[in-house]
Amino acid sequence: MKYISTRGAAPALDFENVLLAGLASDGGLYVPEQLPRFTTEQIVGFSGLSYSGLAYEIIRPFVGGTIEDEQLRAIIEDTYADFNHSAVAPLTQLDTNEWVMELFHGPTLAFKDFALQLLGRLLDHFLTKRDERAVILGATSGDTGSAAIEGCRHSDHVDIFIMHPHNRVSEVQRRQMTTVLSDNVHNLAIEGNFDDCQAIVKASFAEQGFLNGERRLVAVNSINWARIMAQVVYYFHAALSLGSPFRPVSFAVPTGNFGDIFAGYIARGMGLPIQQLIVGTNRNDILHRFFSANSYRKESLGHTLSPSMDIMVSSNFERLLFDLHDRDGKAMAELMAGFDVSGEISIDESRWQSVKTLFDSQCANDDETVATIRQVFDQTEYLLDPHTAIGVKAARDCLASREVPVVTLATAHPVKFPDAILAAGLDAPALPHHLQDLHSREERMTVLPNSLAAVHEFIATTLR
Ligand SMILES: Cc1ncc(COP(=O)(O)O)c(C=O)c1O
Ligand SMILES: N[C@@H](CCOP(=O)(O)O)C(=O)O
């Protein structure tokens, strides 16, 4: 399996090198040259597999022989063995034909664990084989950071630097990152927003002088293809449980960086009968404006009760645009260069109409988010986190057919966001056992200005 850049000018790479790179050298994102596609019979054959058995079947073609099959199987089994639910990604029914898939049973209580527990192990495997050390640089609006730290901190081959927007993540999220005191873990609180942190990550790939050519720079955000690959699995897992491939299923996904829902789009491309992909955004609604009005236009980023989705520039949207532009890297490079200048993209009407046959969207402000948490709790006594609530609202507003089951991805555990739960007039749940003393643990982080130079200086000095 070869991977190509969305901007057409970087060399094609195999899985190992894509994993170890993150962003392509031309500033684009890697995607498979051709998607593996399963027949109906093959998908039927996946029914009844354990989560890790299914993950192995889905992931194997992407890895394309860069890891021996049995070794890959063992890595995947190890990845999901410690999740706190034997089904790994259980479904809970909210109403007739309406479900949530709980993606928060991993160690850091958010869907990021599905990919980052695997990515940490894969990185360690390849870096050990090559006897190399890497610097991981990541941006987080709250969940990727702790999941990346948890997934990678045990590797002797990495130093990990995670930037979060200072004072813009929940206290539980911050403490999940800053209370990890390992020598190879560094938390940077950037005086800016998530987009600023993400821009620093991307710019660092273009300017790697701060590493003196001694270390490889690796991305753990969903710009890294391995993240998307691992997230494809749970779409198959849910759809198979609900009768696929003989029954279509729709998904609603609380969306920020467009990685999670893009994994659903990939699952569909691999043969899963997905009828609708519904994007839910908070009031940072650039994606909703694209899907509802063909206007992907940057606006100022606001702080909401769903802080993990306080994102304006959605990295993975470029991967969708690439497909919408017939996978023409040159056209994409021009489009993205135009976006850098004008802060706006609107695409050819016929292309936009074609994407609308699959995608729909809705946005929710904080009041609507809180009202949905309350409404679902009153109906079912099930407690949604604010991000999932946005997904549920979008599902209820946009579902095209009540006959098709809709699954909302429950992307985080409500315990991470007590402010939203209290605003809904409900009691915040207790922290799980392994985090019980989180609020009394020692924290370590460094506050830095929103400056590429300051971040590079910090990393260079720390590594010296
Ligand atoms: C809890 C939660 N829900 C939803 C999202 C949005 O996912 P994506 O950025 O892949 O669209 C995020 C962060 O990305 C998140 O942390
Ligand atoms: N919501 C994310 C933002 C980063 O997104 P990613 O999926 O690209 O890593 C977070 O919680 O950090």
Q: Is 112 a catalytic residue?
A: yes
Average pLDDT over every residue of 165-182: 97
Q: CB under 6 Å to ligand 1: residues?
A: 110, 143, 222, 254-260, 308-309, 387, 411-412
From the list 2, 112, 129, 356, the catalytic residue is 112
For all residues of the chain together, what is the average pLDDT? 97
Q: Which token pair is 371?
A: 């009202």
Please name which ligand lies nearest the alpha carbon of 281.
1
How far, in Å, is the centroid of ligand 2 from the Cα of 140? 5
pLDDT confidence band for 316 (50 / 70 / 90):
very high
Question: Sheet harboring 446-449: ordered strands across?
Answer: 216-219, 134-139, 158-165, 185-191, 446-449
- Ligand 2 site residues (CB inside 6 A) read 140-145, 221-222, 256-257, 259, 308, 315
Dihedral angle at the C-alpha atoms of 43, 45, 51, 54, nearest 10 degrees? -60
Query: How far apart are the CA of 254 and the centre of ligand 1, in A?
Result: 6
Task: Pick the closest to residue 308 from 385, 374, 373, 367 (CA basis).
Answer: 385
For residue 327, being part of any structural domain is answered with: yes
Decide if pLDDT at 46 tops 90: yes
Does residue 16 belong to any structural domain of this protein?
no
State pLDDT tens for residues 189-232.
Answer: 999 999 999 999 999 999 999 999 999 999 999 999 999 999 99
Residue recorded with tokens 């293809």: 225
Nearest to 278 by CA among 257, 297, 264: 264
Count of domains in the chain?
A: 1
Quick check: is 208 in a domain?
A: no
Domain extent for 399? 87-106+225-423
Alpha helix (H) residue ranges in 153-192: 171-178
For 106-156, what is each residue's pLDDT tens digit? Answer: 999 999 999 999 999 999 999 999 999 999 999 999 999 999 999 999 999
Phi, psi of 426 (to 5 degrees): -115, 165
3-state SS of 321-351? HHHHCCCCHHHHHHHHHHHHHHCEECCCHHH
Q: Is residue 112 part of a domain?
A: no
Helix H or strand E segment including 277: strand 274-281
What pLDDT does residue 22 have? 83
Mean pLDDT of 72-83: 97
* SS3 call for 364: coil
Residues in the chain: 464
Any domain includes 62: no
Ligand 2 geometric centre to CA of 80 (Å) = 20
Q: Positive or negative, the Cα torsion across 364, 365, 366, 367?
A: negative
Tell me the C-alpha distance between 7 and 327, whole Å: 9
pLDDT surpasses 90 at 35: yes
pLDDT for 328 equals 98
**Cβ-count burial 276-305 (b if 16+ within 10 Å, e if not):** bbbbbbbbbbbbbbbbeebebeeeebeebb
Give the pLDDT of residue 151: 97
For the residues 401-418, what does the mean pLDDT come to?
Answer: 96
Three-state DSSP at 400 gives: coil
* 203, 374, 382, 392, 399 from 425: Cα distances, Å: 43, 8, 14, 19, 28
The CA 359 to ligand 1 mean position distance, Å, reads: 17
Which tokens hold the place of 360?
A: 């729909």
What SS3 class is residue 262? helix
CA–CA dist 313, 286 (Å, integer): 8
Contact 192, 165 (CB under 8 A): yes
Residue 311 located in a structural domain: yes
9 assigned to some structural domain = no
Pairwise CA distance, residues 34 & 270, whole Å: 10
Residue 288 domain flag: yes
Confidence of residue 70 (pLDDT cuts 50, 70, 90): very high
- Taking the C-alpha atoms of residue 88 and residue 77, their distance in angstroms, rounded to an integer, is 11
The token pair at 379 is 């109906």
Q: How many CB atoms lie within 10 A of CB 341?
A: 7
Largest CA distance in the chain: 60
pLDDT of residue 323 exceeding 90: yes
CATH classification of the domain holding 303: 3.40.50.1100
Residue closest via CA to ligand 2's atom 7 equals: 222
CA dihedral 227, 232, 235, 237 (to 10 degrees): -100
Q: Whose structure tokens read 């996904």?
A: 253
pLDDT at 336: 97
Q: What is the DSSP string of 426-459?
A: -PPPPPPGGGTTGGGS----EEEES-HHHHHHHH
